[in-house]
Amino acid sequence: MKLDILPAIPKPSILLLPLGGMLLFVVLYILAALNYPGGSWIVMDQEGFNFWNNYLCDLLDRNAINGELNPARFFARASLGVLCVSLLLLWYFLPGLFSKKGINVFVMWLAGIFSLVVTMSLTSGTHDITVRIAGIFGVIAFISCFIELYKANYFLLVYFGIACLLIFLVNYYIYETGTFIRSLPVIQKVTFISFILWFAFLDISFYKFVKLKNDKIRMSH
């Protein structure tokens, strides 16, 4: 069953925008970390941002954990917005990567978009609820995507994606149970870096697919 509601294949240049957004996200988050006053839930009076002790979401709050006003939040919130918009753009057009657009592609598309929209509310003070809702829809979107990628012979993306998802589930298990909670700040960053790389490789694969398709059309004329 083909679903006409799904978007058409974009121009190759459009798919360069998510890559630029991911790069800008990294730059802005580094600036946020450099401007963080200090404090973590492990060491309350530490100076600045600590890779081993701080969570990425610590940078989003109005006040740092040490009680000072947090100027890093401007960079952190901008970076989150840039990342979500960039990934929304990629995910919106992603059905174009697959030749058959059945119900599974529609589920992938809708769940992914909803997960990213919900993630944007991380700055609203509803962190735990946001993480749970976005996580559930994100898992649905990824599993659906892996199925389609496997059908399209993107095996490396599937295997790398499954590894990312397993890391995420470990991250979520620790978050919910408190087991090995001292290691969670580092695992959170490993999870984030893994998914950013996966999205980047997905975007590059999509870009190559669209460019090759357009080249074939030009040659046929």
Confirm whether 7 is domain-assigned: no
Phi-psi region of 39 (alpha: psi -120 to 50; beta: other; left: phi over 0): left
Residue 197 lies in a domain: yes
Residues of the chain above pLDDT 70, percent: 96
- The answer to whether residues 15 and 212 touch, using CB atoms and an 8 Å cutoff, is no
Cβ-proximal residues to 41 (8 Å cutoff; 6+ apart), any chain = 53, 55, 65
140 closest CA partner among 112, 98, 182, 102? 112
Mean pLDDT to the nearest integer, 113-126:
85
Q: Is 22 helix (H, G, I), strand (E, B) or coil?
A: helix
The three-state secondary structure class of 74 is helix
Q: Which domain holds residue 24?
A: 12-212
Phi, psi of 69 (to 5 degrees): -60, 135
Question: Tokens standing for 114?
Answer: 């909803």
Domain assignment present for residue 187? The answer is: yes
pLDDT at position 124: 66
Task: State the chain's mean pLDDT as an integer.
Answer: 93
Query: The tokens 């995910």 sit on which residue?
Result: 91
218 within domain boundaries: no
Domains held by the chain: number: 1
Q: Is residue 71 part of a domain?
A: yes
Residue 163 has a pLDDT of: 97
40 in Cβ contact with 54 (< 8 Å): yes
Lowest mean pLDDT among 4-8, 134-138, 191-195, 209-213: 4-8
Q: Note the pLDDT of residue 166.
A: 96
For tokens 């839930």, the residue is 41
DSSP label at residue 37: -
Question: How confident is the model over 55-89, as pLDDT tens digits?
Answer: 999 999 999 999 999 999 999 999 999 999 999 99
pLDDT tens by residue, 18-41 = 999 999 999 999 999 999 999 998
Residue 197 has pLDDT above 70, yes or no: yes
Residue 139, CB half-sphere, CA atoms under 13 Å: how many?
11
Is residue 3, in this structure, part of any structural domain at all? no
Report if residue 118 sits inside a domain. yes
Please state which of the ranges 7-11, 44-48, 173-177, 214-218 shows the lowest mean pLDDT.
Answer: 214-218
